[in-house]
Amino acid sequence: MADPALARYVADWPRQGDVGFVAEDGATPIGAAWWRLFSHHDSGYGFVDESTPELSIGVVAEARGGGVGTLLLRALIGEARRSDLPALSLSVERDNPAAALYERLGFEARHREGGSVTMALTLGK
Peptide bond between residue 29 and the one before it cis (omega within 30 degrees of 0): no
pLDDT of residue 82: 96
Cβ proximity of 35 and 56 under 8 Å: yes
Least confident of 33-37, 41-45, 53-57, 78-82: 41-45
Cβ proximity of 22 and 29 under 8 Å: yes
Does the predicted TM-score (pTM) go above 0.85?
yes
- pLDDT one-digit tens code per residue, 99-119: 999 999 999 999 998 899 999
CA–CA dist 34, 125 (Å, integer)? 22
Q: Is 44 exposed, middle or buried (0-12, 13-18, 19+ CB in 10 A)?
A: buried
- pLDDT one-digit tens code per residue, 18-31: 999 999 999 999 99
User: Which domains does the chain carry?
Assistant: 4-122 (3.40.630.30)
